[in-house]
């Protein structure tokens, strides 16, 4: 008999929906599989205030369904105020603020240049139970290698944050390095983090060996095998504050396959099957104990950290192979190439 098991409808706790013709592709994919999502604010211009949140939500509304919970984040800047935080905390759809060190990734130019100067804002967030979602990287430059950006951020910023504002809930987004995994693994109950499908499936050899694979290029960049192994240790040990968040980003083929390709992988088309593929390759998803861990990782642990209700609706995960489409068409004529395009995943999802 084909292996099958059910999980609660998950939340994608880190997703980019953008604000153009890619939105019509990305939002329905998330909505089809998830109970809700934590939506990233790095639009141009960014989502900085609750007024921006409401305007963005109204532009998203044609693609949302009743019962789906689009949870929003504010984009922290050097100019974010305590008043902005108070308004955000009172907004029913805002769960936290996204920290982008200025210049660290796509559309992050308005990000924070001096985290310590934002201490009153961070304290206001902590008082109100808001989550700081951190893109945990310093900028590359002399003395900072691109593969070390996350580790340096842990040493210089995260350590300061957890010591200075110990009550602040921090989600370390898209963890990639052994240094980050070890910090989160031994941190207190206010600190957790998400892991993407690509950082569980791949390391930098997959990105670079035998030719550069632009569709595996994301930030933080894929790291060494030993870093991936450290992430898996957290997942395998069922760390209560390590969860799924895709960081799915629908970049067009032209922006990925060029002389200066941009960072990001599109995985929202079927996040559950991608994580299932990763779990199966690493741990064997036929075993019921692994299925139970998968259920918690994909659908329970992150929701609990954010204080969101675990969905009563379920999806069924089945060991039925599927071939991932080579691309998705956008209304404007461009295409998006998904993670694992043209490959066979061993698992599929059915709604029952």
71 or 310: whose CB is closer to Zn ion? Answer: 71
Closest separation in Å from C-beta 12 to Zn ion: 11
Q: Both tokens of residue 287?
A: 């075993």
- For residue 220, whether the previous peptide bond is cis, meaning omega lies within 30 degrees of 0, is yes
Start-to-end CA distance of the chain, whole Å, equals: 18
Of 127, 118, 219, nearest in space to 177 by CA: 219
CA 149 – CA 132 distance, rounded (Å): 19
Q: Locate all alpha helices (DSSP H) within 300-341, ordered by sequence.
A: 301-306
Of 9, 12, 19, 77, nearest in space to 48 by CA: 77
106 or 293: whose CB is closer to Zn ion? Answer: 106
Please name the residue that has the structure tokens 């769960």.
95
CA 272 – CA 322 distance, rounded (Å): 13
Element (H, E) at 272: helix 271-283
DSSP calls for 110-153: TSBS-GGGGHHHHHHHHHTT-EEEE---PPPBTTB-GGGHHHHH
Closest separation in Å from C-beta 21 to Zn ion: 20
CB–CB of 318/2 below 8 Å? yes
CA 94 – CA 90 distance, rounded (Å): 8
Q: Name every residue whose Cβ is closer than 8 Å to that of residue 129 and which is 6 or more positions away in sequence.
A: 89, 169, 307
Closest separation in Å from C-beta 77 to Zn ion: 17
Of 45, 16, 5, nearest in space to 262 by CA: 16
Q: Among all residues, which ones are annotated catalytic?
A: 247
Closest separation in Å from C-beta 99 to Zn ion: 12
150 or 247: whose CB is closer to Zn ion? Answer: 247
Which single residue brings its beta carbon nearest to Zn ion? 247
Question: How many Cβ atoms sit within 10 Å of the Cβ of residue 95?
Answer: 26
Interface with Zn ion (CB under 5 A):
247
Going by the DSSP 8-state scheme, the letter that residue 156 receives in this structure is I
CB–CB of 228/199 below 8 Å? yes
247 or 280: whose CB is closer to Zn ion? Answer: 247
Closest separation in Å from C-beta 16 to Zn ion: 6
203 or 247: whose CB is closer to Zn ion? Answer: 247
247 or 296: whose CB is closer to Zn ion? Answer: 247
Closest separation in Å from C-beta 36 to Zn ion: 17
Closest separation in Å from C-beta 105 to Zn ion: 7
Q: Both tokens of residue 189?
A: 């109950």
12 or 247: whose CB is closer to Zn ion? Answer: 247
């Amino acid at each position: 008999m084909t292996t099958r098991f059910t999980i609660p409808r998950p939340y994608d706790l880190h997703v980019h929906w953008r604000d153009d013709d890619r939105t019509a592709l990305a939002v329905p994919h998330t909505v089809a599989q998830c109970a809700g999502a934590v939506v990233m604010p790095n639009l141009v211009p960014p989502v900085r205030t609750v007024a921006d949140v409401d305007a963005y939500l109204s532009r998203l509304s044609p693609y949302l369904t009743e019962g789906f919970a689009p949870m929003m984040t504010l984009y922290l800047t050097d100019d974010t105020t305590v008043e902005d935080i108070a308004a955000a905390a009172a907004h029913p759809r805002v769960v936290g603020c996204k920290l982008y060190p200025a210049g660290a990734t796509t559309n992050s130019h308005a990000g924070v240049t001096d985290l310590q100067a934002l201490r009153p804002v961070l304290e206001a967030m902590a008082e109100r139970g808001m989550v700081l979602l951190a893109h945990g990287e310093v900028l590359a430059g002399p003395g900072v290698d691109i593969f070390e950006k996350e580790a340096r951020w842990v040493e210089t910023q995260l350590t300061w944050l957890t010591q200075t504002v110990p009550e602040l809930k921090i989600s370390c987004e898209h963890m990639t390095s052994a240094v980050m995994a070890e910090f989160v693994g031994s941190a207190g109950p206010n600190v957790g983090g998400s892991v993407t499908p690509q950082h569980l499936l791949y390391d930098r050899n997959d990105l670079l060996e035998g030719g550069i694979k632009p569709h595996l290029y994301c930030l933080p960049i894929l790291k060494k095998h030993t870093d991936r192994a450290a992430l898996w240790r957290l997942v395998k040990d069922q760390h209560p504050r390590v969860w799924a968040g895709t960081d799915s980003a629908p970049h067009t083929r032209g922006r990925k396959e060029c002389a200066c390709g941009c960072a990001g992988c599109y995985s929202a088309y079927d996040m559950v099957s991608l994580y299932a593929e990763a779990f199966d390759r690493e741990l064997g998803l036929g075993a019921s104990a692994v299925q139970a861990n998968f259920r918690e990782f994909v659908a329970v642990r992150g929701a609990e950290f954010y204080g969101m209700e675990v969905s009563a609706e379920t999806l069924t995960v089945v060991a039925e192979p599927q071939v991932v489409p080579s691309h998705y068409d956008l209304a404007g004529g461009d295409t998006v190439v998904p993670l694992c395009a043209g490959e066979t995943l061993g698992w599929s999802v059915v709604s029952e």
